[in-house]
């Protein structure tokens, strides 16, 4: 089950550069949006294989959809509003 408040906090943590805090929240959920965020976090980390694993579970999002992780985090944020 998705917790929008928690996922918004996770996105905000990622936007602030707190990868670990964001990851801690994202990994507690398994819905498509949490998986999308999880994928972006691993993209930021530089772990392409793990990132693509999570994109495959994100209901249609793809590793190559965004060139800029800031824009992608903004898109996730907007999807949660």
Residue range 45-75, pLDDT digits in tens: 999 999 999 999 999 999 999 999 999 999 9
Measured CA to CA, the distance from residue 58 to residue 62 in angstroms comes to 8
pLDDT band at 25 (very low <50, low <70, confident <90, very high): very high
Half-sphere exposure of 61 (CA within 13 A, CB side): 25
The pLDDT-based confidence of 2 (bands split at 50, 70, 90) is low
Rounded distance, CA 12 to CA 77, Å? 8
Domain boundaries, position 12: 4-80
pTM exceeds cut of 0.85: yes
Asked if 24 and 12 touch (Cβ cutoff 8 Å), the reply is no
Give the sign of the dihedral formed by CA 61, CA 44, CA 34, CA 14: negative
Report the number of distinct structural domains present in the chain.
1
């Amino acid at each position: 089950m998705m917790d929008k408040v928690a996922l918004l906090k996770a996105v905000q943590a990622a936007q602030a550069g707190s990868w670990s805090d964001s990851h801690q929240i994202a990994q507690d959920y398994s819905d498509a949006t949490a998986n999308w965020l999880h994928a972006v976090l691993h993209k930021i980390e530089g772990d392409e294989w793990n990132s693509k694993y999570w994109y495959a579970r994100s209901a249609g999002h793809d590793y190559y959809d965004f060139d800029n992780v800031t824009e992608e985090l903004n898109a996730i944020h907007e999807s949660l509003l």
